[in-house]
Amino acid sequence: MREEGLLSLCMIVKNEENWLTRCLESIKDVVDEIIIVDTGSTDRTKEIALDYGAVVFDYEWNDNFADARNFGLEQAKGEWILWLDADEEIERKDREHIRDVLSHPECYFGRMKVVNYYGTFPVSYDRSHLMNQYRLFRNDPQLRFDGAIHEQLEIEKLNLTSESVVVLPVTLHHYGYLEEAIAEKGKKERNMLLLEKALEAEDHDPWLDYHYASELYRHERMNEAFERVNVSIGSFLKSQKKPPSLLYKLKYTILMALGSYEGGWPSIDLAIKLYPDYVDLHFYKGIILMSMKKLPEAIETFEYCLELGEDHASYLTMVGAGSFMAWYYIGTCYELMEDLPKAEEAYRTALELSDSMEQAREALQKLSASTSAPEN
């Protein structure tokens, strides 16, 4: 039975002993109950969960993440649900704000900023993507997860208004895309198998094609990834739906990886018309223009990235696209134009914004070496 004023944390786990303590330590004093659905751990995961006062349920894994999550929701007693993964943690200074949703009687969802780190440890904010996500919601039997993999809340079933959602001043750190985490959990192989199984359905959700394209990209099967993301875009258009911005981000990320800059021109302008304030798309456009030697136009585009900034968390935004990375490419353009003073200024600005940006540091060192070299 649901109890008003209570907040339940719901998680599904398997062999998460290396991550679970960090996660639960970050949230233990904020939630009223912890519901852990274990899908077959053989390490200390369940023992750790019990140490934090969690109620642990064993669940027979059936290759369906949504089913496991929904089983956990059915056990929750709280009026509100917070869902996390074991490889995540709440920013400690923000965590008390999670309960702010309880004081919004008209609210149905709480969103928070998720920082998705990539690369390797130690983590750096400068190597991450940002996006606001729905992580808190009312405990309503009508609201459930859908999807065997990359499951999502069935939000479209609800008639939401601006009063239905509150954006909380809370940051969530997600480490699951770090190379160590992917290798440790065998995510690539597992995800490919689950996606290929789900794609066998004739009328499958076009989101599955997107997620399959993402996995192909991670496997460096770039041509296949490009074909599949276009299938996803086409499926959304066929159903008379606007393709989500994530699809275009992935499409042009793949083209960049392929070095197929001409293949992205001028089609990227069509994507920008759909999402004119998406800084990542403008950033990719700048790289395309630079590769085509349209250097003044590229500089103008990167300067527009700086105007847009990175405070657009409704999109999956790469940290740096509207700041230090844009400055670095402005410097590259000026260097190609042989305007070395402006190139140096841009590289220095990039380093001021991100001291860890080795590309700018190396470019600046090479520039200094070339300008100080004695003439023959």
Report pLDDT digits (tens) over 58-91. 999 999 999 999 999 999 999 999 999 999 999 9
Per-residue confidence (pLDDT) for residue 374, from 0 to 100: 58
Q: How far apart are CA 176 and CA 199, in angstroms?
A: 24
Per-residue pLDDT reduced to its tens digit, 212-221: 999 999 999 9
Q: Which residues of 160-190 are buried (b: 16+ CB within 10 A; e: fewer)?
A: eeeeebbebebbbbbbebbeebeeebeeeee
Quote the pLDDT of residue 184: 81
Decide which of 1.20.120.1200, 1.10.8.80, 3.40.47.10, 1.25.40.10 is the CATH code for 275-367.
1.25.40.10
184 half-sphere exposure, CB direction, 13 A CA radius? 15
Boundaries of every domain in the chain: 3-106+139-161, 275-367
Instruction: Let me know if domain 3-106+139-161 sits in CATH 3.90.550.10.
Output: yes
Quote the tokens at residue 8.
């339940």
Low-confidence stretches of the chain (pLDDT beneath 50): none
276-293 pLDDT, tens per residue? 999 999 999 999 999 999
Identify the pLDDT of residue 105: 87
pTM of the prediction?
Answer: 0.94
